[in-house]
Amino acid sequence: MRFLRRLSAPFFSVLALSAMALAQPAAAPAPAPGRVEKLTLNDAIRRALAKNFSIKVSSFDASISAARLTEALGKFDPVLAGTYTHLESENPQLFNSTTGLRPNATGSESDTYNLSLNGLLPTGLTYQLGATSTNARGTFNSFADNYATFAGVSGQQPLLRDAGFGPTLASVRIAKTNRQISDWQFKQTIIDTITRVIFAYNDLNFAHANLRSARRSRELAAGLLDDNEKRYRIGSMSEYDVTSARSRLVSREEGILFAERAVLDSENFLKQLITDENDPALLSLHLEIEPPPPAPVVVVDPATDFREALKKRPDYQQALLNVERNGLNFRLQRNQLLPRVDLVGSYGYSGNDTSFGVSRQQVRGEDFRSFSYGAVVSVPLTFTTERGRYRAARLQLRQAETSLQSLEQDIVVRVGNAAGQIETTRKRVETAGRARELAQKTLDAEVKRLRAGTGSTFFVAQQQEILSELETREYRAQSDYRKALAEYDRQLGLTLEKMNISVISPAAK
């Protein structure tokens, strides 16, 4: 036996040196070459507001809707129009029944000049204010100049279809509603992005905490191995306990690898939210975040906060505007079921002379008054197109109203669930904290028993793993609680208000 002990001594010495090497805490992985930036949660939110691609894309929608409103208002812009027309015509004559000869053809020429200002009024009246001068000549007057001039105003006012402010302004009001919807969509994108940043920041903070816990677990396993080897060398512990402790130490290395990977993945996701870099250099950027402050204990009342959500949530405001937009379209299509009855009329002054200057002077002097009035009636025989559009508009309005009711129900459920998450995660934080404290006391007791010779390596190692798992649960519960508070603010539409962030529509810039 002594011979075997002397023979195995070098072998166990090598094992001891290997265990001492394993027992050394592994250094934190050196960051890859690149930039290292310190970051707080407020810094992350500020950078996301400036550089997040989702916010940039949404800002274009708001600007586009503003441009569409300008386009709709353009229908009322007056148009200055000028025309010139030259006409020549030769007309053959019939054979003379007495002489049997065909008389010479007659001819005529004319030059027409027109200058007018045309436009549309919000009442539906189309108007034309201008002057026309025609120089008509031909065989009838030996091709002498003959200027007929008119200056005045003419218009056409619908009485049924397209009459009044409603139908005429419908496109403008719809475009204005679309712009308001785009503004609320822009706010929703900002709220969603801020919430995602808060989530990503807390996930990265949890990943770092989880990595610290994994390294601490390895240090505990290394300490246990060191104690077992010391006891083995003095003969108070079996080789099995040393091997078991070494196995536990090696297995915890894998946990560190997973934790390190989780840190890098969480870091990349946060960088994606707060930067606009789009090349591989983004991967070389490393963030050193400050742990978020402890979250306050919050008591919520979802029944009361539901009314607040209806006032502040951007998606609900969009749904209300969608109902309004469909109502405008419904009333427009209902108006299109009417027949067209328009009043037409003109009033002005005429001039006629062989001299253009004289004919123009007659108009300017209001020497010869000229006016007309009448009515134009147009009645489609079937109204097939109009009836189809009216039915579609009516159904779209009902659909929008039903969607609004569905959204109200969805808000009730989501606000209730978010409130429940706050309560649940708060209790999880308390429970996980107590469980972690008890696990630490249990581990301390098991270590004392092992050192006293009444415990076992298996129970100590098992309790170390339990403590590490409970630490992770406590970190996760704390992270989830902060995320639950952010989600509740998002469900109420209070994120911007809580962050003291004012949003200016991109269309107003």
- What pLDDT is stored for residue 12 in this prediction? 34
- What pLDDT is stored for residue 242 in this prediction? 82
- The conformation of residue 29, written as its DSSP 8-state character, comes to P
CA distance 194 to 52: 10
Is 443 a residue whose pLDDT tops 80?
Answer: yes
Q: For residue 167, give both structure tokens.
A: 């139908």
Contacts of residue 450, Cβ cutoff 8 Å, sequence gap at least 6? 227, 456, 457, 459, 460
pLDDT tens per residue across span 385-394: 999 999 999 9
Q: Which of 61-65, 123-127, 248-252 has the lowest mean pLDDT?
A: 248-252
- What pLDDT is stored for residue 226 in this prediction? 84
Is 202 a residue whose pLDDT tops 50?
Answer: yes
Predicted confidence band of residue 34 (pLDDT cuts 50, 70, 90)? low
Contacts of residue 449, Cβ cutoff 8 Å, sequence gap at least 6? 455, 459
**Average pLDDT estimate for 421-445:** 91
**Smallest Cα–Cα separation from 247: which of 446, 15, 472?**
15
Mapped onto helix, strand or coil, the DSSP state of residue 364 is helix
Contacts of residue 169, Cβ cutoff 8 Å, sequence gap at least 6? 122
CA distance 135 to 150: 12
| 36 bridge partner residues | 286
Residue 500's region, left for phi above 0, alpha for psi from -120 to 50, else beta, is: left
- What pLDDT is stored for residue 244 in this prediction? 80
The answer to whether residues 114 and 104 touch, using CB atoms and an 8 Å cutoff, is: no
- The conformation of residue 351, written as its DSSP 8-state character, comes to E
The more confident residue out of 391 and 138 is 391
The answer to whether residues 354 and 147 touch, using CB atoms and an 8 Å cutoff, is: yes
CA distance 64 to 43: 30
Is 325 a residue whose pLDDT tops 90?
Answer: yes
The answer to whether residues 106 and 140 touch, using CB atoms and an 8 Å cutoff, is: yes
Predicted confidence band of residue 33 (pLDDT cuts 50, 70, 90)? low
Is 99 a residue whose pLDDT tops 90?
Answer: no
Q: For residue 141, give both structure tokens.
A: 């007057």
| Residue % of the chain over a pLDDT of 70 | 92
pLDDT tens per residue across span 379-415: 988 889 999 999 999 999 999 999 999 999 999 999 9
- What pLDDT is stored for residue 332 in this prediction? 96
| 289 bridge partner residues | 39
Mapped onto helix, strand or coil, the DSSP state of residue 499 is coil
| CA angle centred on 321, ends 320 and 324, rounded to 5° | 95
Q: Which of 3-12, 53-62, 208-217, 238-247 has the lowest mean pLDDT?
A: 3-12
Is 3 a residue whose pLDDT tops 80?
Answer: no
Question: CATH for 35-68+170-328+393-508?
Answer: 1.20.1600.10
- The conformation of residue 31, written as its DSSP 8-state character, comes to P
The more confident residue out of 230 and 318 is 318
Mean per-residue pLDDT over the chain, rounded: 87
The more confident residue out of 505 and 409 is 409
Q: For residue 163, give both structure tokens.
A: 């009459």
Q: For residue 54, give both structure tokens.
A: 């989702």
Q: For residue 345, give both structure tokens.
A: 């009329």
pLDDT tens per residue across span 464-504: 888 888 888 999 999 999 999 999 999 999 999 998 988 88
Predicted confidence band of residue 449 (pLDDT cuts 50, 70, 90)? confident
Q: Residue ranges of the domains in the chain?
A: 35-68+170-328+393-508, 83-120+125-161+341-378
- What pLDDT is stored for residue 22 in this prediction? 32
Task: Tell me the CB-side half-sphere exposure of residue 354, using CA atoms within 13 A.
Answer: 6
pLDDT tens per residue across span 256-275: 999 999 999 999 999 999 99
| 116 bridge partner residues | 81, 130
Biggest distance spanned by C-alpha atoms of the chain:
161
Q: What is the CA radius of gyration of the chain?
A: 43
